[in-house]
Amino acid sequence: MTLVKEYNTIDEAVQAANSLHGRGVAENEVFVLAHDDGVTNTVANYSEAEKIGVDETGMGTAFKNMFRSQGDELRSKMKEIGLSPTEADSYERTLDKGKILLICKDDNQSSFL
């Protein structure tokens, strides 16, 4: 089960990611995604969340993402880590509004804090 929660600020996302790690969720099970790469990088640098990279998407998708629009790239990344196309479309619109997403792939987590 892949759980997604949206946050308004970098601080909220960092605290939530670190809280998940403190509850036993592995670093490679929590991902951060934002429309702004700088925001994604900041949350990843100050928390236990990971960026969605080649390990998650594979080389083929990573290469294709180099030529995609930002929205297409984000949707592709979300689909590669377990979201349906419909969910990816919906969450991409959320990212368009400036929100930050934490995506948790840990099957033992029924909800975020």
Beta strands in the chain (DSSP E): 3-7, 30-34, 50-51, 100-104
Q: In what order do the strands lie in the sheet with 100-104?
A: 3-7, 100-104, 30-34, 50-51
Kindly state the percentage of the chain with pLDDT values over 70: 76
Per-residue pLDDT tens over the stretch 21-57: 888 888 778 889 999 989 999 999 999 788 765 455 4
Structural domain boundaries in the chain: 3-104
- The pLDDT confidence band at residue 109, using thresholds 50, 70 and 90, is low
Averaged pLDDT of the chain: 81
Higher-scoring residue by pLDDT: 28, 104: 104
For the chain, the distance separating the N- and C-terminal CA atoms, rounded to the nearest angstrom, is 17
The pTM assigned to this predicted structure is 0.80
Does the pLDDT value for residue 59 go beyond 70? Answer: no
